[in-house]
């Protein structure tokens, strides 16, 4: 009986990765409009985010192939993330009381929405000015502006995912307070250190040298911290 229960748990955990595999296959192999969906997405990203006058180059035979794989994997993870979160909660459910399970399930939809909102925020408000400002130094040096395909893909997806995770701050704060590790007074008394941390982290992931994109990212993080404080107070 114990073996069957453990087998059931194992199968459920495998299903999470099957979701990702199906999503990856759909994005990498399906060709609805003459190109795989991952490449259609890449064309849109290139049009929206590649600075004007900058040329994409392939530095080795594998870079284009690996870049397409990375795009497919990341998009698949984003699309199926609600199912993965739900699967993790279901996996942990035997160890939780009914009210605890219900509370955790309430975090699934807000987590997905906040993560997607962070990704959109990064795509439209963080990445374009960051690339534009950084490549302005290239023009000033009279250098030829090139961008390797794999570096372009890693930079874009890295910033999207980083900001998406940052937007989950209220969820993390709420869960830590809900399980009793950190109380509301801690968040209230240490807000200055949190704001300083936001500034430093924003400066690291948006190194434009002017502070513009750092400010654009820091302001919503401060707002999210306030939301997290309200959530942790309940």
Tell me the average pLDDT of the chain. Answer: 83
For helices 149-166 and 127-140, the axis angle rounded to 10 degrees is: 140
The tokens of 213 are what? Answer: 């994109």
pLDDT surpasses 80 at 40: yes
Per-residue model confidence (pLDDT) at position 50:
92
Report the chain's C-alpha Rg in angstroms.
21
Rounded to whole angstroms, the Cα distance separating 228 from 213 reads: 23
Share of the chain above pLDDT 90, in %: 35
Global pTM reads 0.82
Nearest CA to 90 out of 9, 189, 30, 160 is that of 9
Helix or strand run (H / E) with residue 51: none
Rounded to whole angstroms, the Cα distance separating 175 from 100 reads: 11
- What's CA 100's distance to the chain center, in Å? 26
Domain ranges of the chain: 2-167
Confidence of residue 106 (pLDDT cuts 50, 70, 90): confident
Nearest CA to 85 out of 67, 103, 109, 61 is that of 109
More confident residue, 142 or 57: 57
More confident residue, 216 or 24: 216
Averaged over 118-137, what is the pLDDT? 89
Share of the chain above pLDDT 70, in %: 83
More confident residue, 7 or 193: 193
- Strand segments, DSSP code E, in the chain are 55-57, 146-148
141 exposure class (CB count in 10 Å sphere: 0-12, 13-18, 19+): exposed
Residues 141-197 pLDDT 10s: 888 889 999 999 999 999 999 999 999 999 999 888 887 788 889 999 999 999 999
- Dihedral over Cα of 39, 41, 47, 49: its sign: negative
Q: Are 116 and 80 in contact (CB under 8 A)?
A: no
CB neighbours of 112 closer than 8 A, spacing ≥ 6? 81, 82, 85
- Dihedral over Cα of 202, 182, 227, 174: its sign: positive
Q: Name the one residue in this structure whose structure tokens are 């309430």.
A: 106
Per-residue model confidence (pLDDT) at position 195:
94
Q: Are 164 and 116 in contact (CB under 8 A)?
A: yes
């Amino acid at each position: 009986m114990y073996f069957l229960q453990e087998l059931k748990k194992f199968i459920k955990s495998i299903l999470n990765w099957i979701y990702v595999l199906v999503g990856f296959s759909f994005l990498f192999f399906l060709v609805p409009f003459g190109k795989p969906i991952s490449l259609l997405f890449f064309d849109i990203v290139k049009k929206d985010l590649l600075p004007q006058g900058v040329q994409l180059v392939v530095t080795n035979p594998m870079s284009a192939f690996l870049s397409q794989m990375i795009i497919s994997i990341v998009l698949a993870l984003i699309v199926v993330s609600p199912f993965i979160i739900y699967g993790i909660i279901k996996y942990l459910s035997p160890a939780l009381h009914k009210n605890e399970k219900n509370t955790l399930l309430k975090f699934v939809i807000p987590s997905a929405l906040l993560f997607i909102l962070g990704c959109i925020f990064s795509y439209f408000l963080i990445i374009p000015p960051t690339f534009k400002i950084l490549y302005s130094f290239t023009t000033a040096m009279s250098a030829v502006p090139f961008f390797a395909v794999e570096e372009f893909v890693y930079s874009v997806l890295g910033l999207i995912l980083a900001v998406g995770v940052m937007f989950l701050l209220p969820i993390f704060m709420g869960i830590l307070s809900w399980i009793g590790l950190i109380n509301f007074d801690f968040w209230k008394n240490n807000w200055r250190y949190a704001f300083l941390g936001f500034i430093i982290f924003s400066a690291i992931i948006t190194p434009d040298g002017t502070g513009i994109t750092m400010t654009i990212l820091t302001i919503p993080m401060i707002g999210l911290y306030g939301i997290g404080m309200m959530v942790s107070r309940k």
